[in-house]
């Protein structure tokens, strides 16, 4: 492979080259990436600095009470909001710490990819104590398995149930629907077909959305006294489930209760349109805003041949020549820009509230995507004069006081290597000071694109 392949492996596949990583990847960049996948399979992100799972799950019934009982005392509301804010901050800092310190940044990028493709957002207040738990307990353990397992876990998660209102969806002809006059909510069914599986051009219609929504009625948050054996915050209420057989995409589902929705989601996960949608999404994230169709077909075919194994997608991605094309391909989103800057430093700081403030300044707060579609992938959504100025300020602050110990010429070689262009090398080498050289390095197109 070319001399730039190691830098592509670290920066396009990963979250930015840490000191020494270009040398580690240089001998066999593809093998270096595959080893990360194997290591992650053996020990998927078991890090002791992550907040305890029980802390978030304990808030699930409280949030259910808050969402459904407007008369909750204000003192209780304040305590609940404070606990949720504190937990969210701890989870955000843990995610940043993991990204900056991990030796498996390809896998960490995959966690972020799936967390954003199956997005929840704290723009809805009820998701605040659940977003970190969702990524940690739903996404992270399943990125190396089958897509259907990941989709099902997402559908059952308290964060998704609250975010897209499925915890409120009741079959009109169910016992609860007849007694209480409650009805169907189509939000999750629509988004799972448009965003999580088939894609907007996947061949479904409004009738399919309604049928899936009916099948998923009764999927809700567990009450403390009715929590299932998994203790994952999911509960199924048979009295809220719309009775009768259903049809989806021309196929009949005679299953009863929770099994009906499960069967539909599994079939959606295995559908050829889902394979194409996932392949295109993965390539849009890693390769180009407009993915090459030959690569889309290659990844989709591999996904279907493997029965939906996500590892097959990653292997096809690693093998695809389009992924290794030289040149600037993808503009870094704010979080990955900040993470890659900090990974480039020999002694990066431990994340604190200051870094969370920096992300807010850059325009991308963790788990706060503007819609269920997640954060936009195209460069045009992130490139602006204001965004560039914010990055300059953040780069200056993060390197302030470090210039005496940091040689920008050395950093250029350790984080960009052969992908650094002549213009960037000239500017960094001929900077008037180390401070200026560091700013020029981290603001260069070679660093901001991957």
Over residues 217-274, the pLDDT tens digits come to 999 988 755 444 455 789 999 999 999 999 999 999 999 999 999 999 999 999 999 9
pLDDT, position 218:
96
Domain presence at residue 214: yes
Domain presence at residue 173: yes
What is the rounded distance in angstroms from the CA atom of residue 97 to the CA atom of residue 95? 5
pLDDT at 53 exceeding the cut of 60: no
Mean pLDDT is lowest, of 147-156, 216-225, 405-414, for 216-225
Could you give the percent of the chain with pLDDT greater than 70?
90
Q: Are residues 266 and 338 in the same domain?
A: no
Over residues 312-327, the pLDDT tens digits come to 999 999 999 999 998 8
Q: Kind and range of the H or E element at 235?
A: strand 234-236
Contact 419, 7 (CB under 8 A): yes
Domain presence at residue 137: no
pLDDT, position 113:
98
- State how many domains the chain has: 2
pLDDT at 73 exceeding the cut of 70: no
Q: Are residues 368 and 266 in the same domain?
A: no
Domain presence at residue 318: no
pLDDT, position 227:
46
Domain presence at residue 389: yes
Q: Are residues 360 and 257 in the same domain?
A: no
Backbone dihedral angles phi then psi of residue 418, each to the nearest 5 degrees: -70, -10
The tokens for 21 are 């990583």
| 284-288 long-range Cβ contacts below 8 angstroms, 24+ apart | 284/377, 285/113, 285/330, 285/377, 286/12, 286/13, 286/317, 286/323, 286/330, 287/320, 287/322, 287/323, 287/325, 287/329, 287/330, 288/322, 288/329, 288/330
Domain presence at residue 208: yes
Q: What is the rounded average pLDDT of the residues 132-158? A: 96
Over residues 202-211, the pLDDT tens digits come to 999 999 999 9
**What rounded mean pLDDT belongs to the chain?**
91
> What is the radius of gyration, based on Cα positions, of the chain?
23
| Residue ranges in 196-271 assigned as alpha helix (H) | 206-215, 258-270
pLDDT, position 76:
65
Domain presence at residue 305: no
Q: Kind and range of the H or E element at 284?
A: helix 272-286
What is the rounded distance in angstroms from the CA atom of residue 25 to the CA atom of residue 393? 31
Domain final residue pick, 249, 270, 291: 270
Contact 391, 337 (CB under 8 A): yes
Banded pLDDT at 42 (limits 50, 70, 90): confident
pLDDT, position 70:
46
What is the rounded distance in angstroms from the CA atom of residue 188 to the CA atom of residue 159? 12
The tokens for 47 are 């890090």
What is the rounded distance in angstroms from the CA atom of residue 346 to the CA atom of residue 269? 42
Q: Are residues 258 and 361 in the same domain?
A: no
The tokens for 403 are 């210039």
Domain presence at residue 411: yes
pTM of the model: 0.93
233's torsion region: left (phi>0), alpha (psi -120 to 50) or beta?
left
Crossing angle for the helix pair 422-429 and 434-443, nearest 10 degrees? 160
Q: Are residues 351 and 260 in the same domain?
A: no
Domain final residue pick, 254, 270, 286: 270
Banded pLDDT at 67 (limits 50, 70, 90): very low
Q: 215: helix, coil or strand?
A: helix
pLDDT, position 225:
52
The residue segments making up the domain with residue 241 are 164-270
pLDDT, position 57:
54
pLDDT, position 59:
58
Banded pLDDT at 193 (limits 50, 70, 90): very high
Q: What is the rounded average pLDDT of the residues 287-307? A: 97
What is the rounded distance in angstroms from the CA atom of residue 329 to the CA atom of residue 284? 10
Domain final residue pick, 270, 294, 316: 270
Q: Are residues 344 and 418 in the same domain?
A: yes
């Amino acid at each position: 492979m070319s001399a730039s392949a190691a830098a592509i492996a670290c920066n396009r596949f990963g979250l930015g080259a840490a000191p020494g990583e270009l040398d580690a990847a240089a001998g066999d960049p593809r093998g270096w990436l595959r080893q990360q996948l194997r290591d992650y399979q053996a020990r998927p992100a078991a890090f002791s600095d992550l907040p305890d799972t029980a802390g978030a799950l304990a808030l699930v019934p409280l949030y259910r009470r808050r969402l459904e009982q407007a008369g909750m005392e204000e003192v209780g509301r304040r305590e609940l909001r404070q606990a949720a804010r504190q937990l969210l901050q701890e989870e955000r800092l843990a995610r940043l710490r993991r990204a900056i310190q991990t030796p498996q940044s390809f896998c960490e990028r995959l966690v972020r990819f799936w967390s954003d493709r199956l997005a929840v957002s704290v723009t809805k207040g009820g998701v605040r104590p659940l977003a970190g738990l969702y990524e940690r307990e739903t996404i992270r353990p399943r990125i190396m398995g089958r897509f259907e397992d990941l989709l099902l876990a997402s559908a059952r998660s308290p964060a998704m149930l609250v975010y897209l209102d499925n915890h409120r969806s009741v079959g009109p002809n169910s016992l609860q629907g007849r007694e209480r006059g409650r009805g169907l909510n189509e939000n999750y069914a629509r988004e799972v077909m448009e965003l999580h599986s088939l894609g907007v051009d996947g061949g479904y219609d409004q009738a399919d959305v309604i049928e899936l929504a009916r099948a998923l009625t009764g999927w809700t948050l567990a009450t403390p006294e009715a929590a299932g054996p998994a203790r994952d915050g999911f509960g199924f209420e048979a009295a809220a489930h719309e009775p009768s057989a259903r049809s989806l995409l021309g196929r009949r589902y005679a299953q009863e209760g929770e099994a009906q929705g499960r069967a539909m989601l599994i079939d959606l996960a295995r559908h050829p349109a889902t394979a194409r949608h996932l392949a295109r999404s993965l390539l849009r994230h890693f390769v180009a805003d407009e993915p090459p169709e030959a690569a889309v077909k290659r990844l989709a075919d591999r996904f279907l041949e493997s029965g939906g194994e996500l590892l097959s997608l990653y292997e096809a991605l690693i093998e695809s020549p389009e992924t290794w094309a030289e040149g600037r391909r993808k503009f870094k989103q704010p979080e990955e820009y900040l993470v890659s800057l900090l990974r480039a430093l020999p002694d990066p700081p431990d994340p604190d509230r200051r870094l969370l403030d920096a992300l807010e300044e850059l325009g991308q707060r963790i788990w706060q995507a503007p819609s269920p579609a997640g954060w936009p992938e195209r460069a045009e959504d992130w490139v602006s004069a204001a965004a560039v100025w914010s990055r300059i300020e953040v780069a200056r602050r993060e390197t302030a006081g470090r210039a005496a110990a940091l040689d920008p010429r050395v950093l250029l070689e350790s984080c960009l290597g052969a992908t650094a262009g002549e213009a960037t090398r000239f500017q960094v080498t001929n900077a008037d000071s180390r401070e200026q050289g560091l700013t020029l390095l981290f603001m260069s197109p070679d660093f901001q694109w991957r």
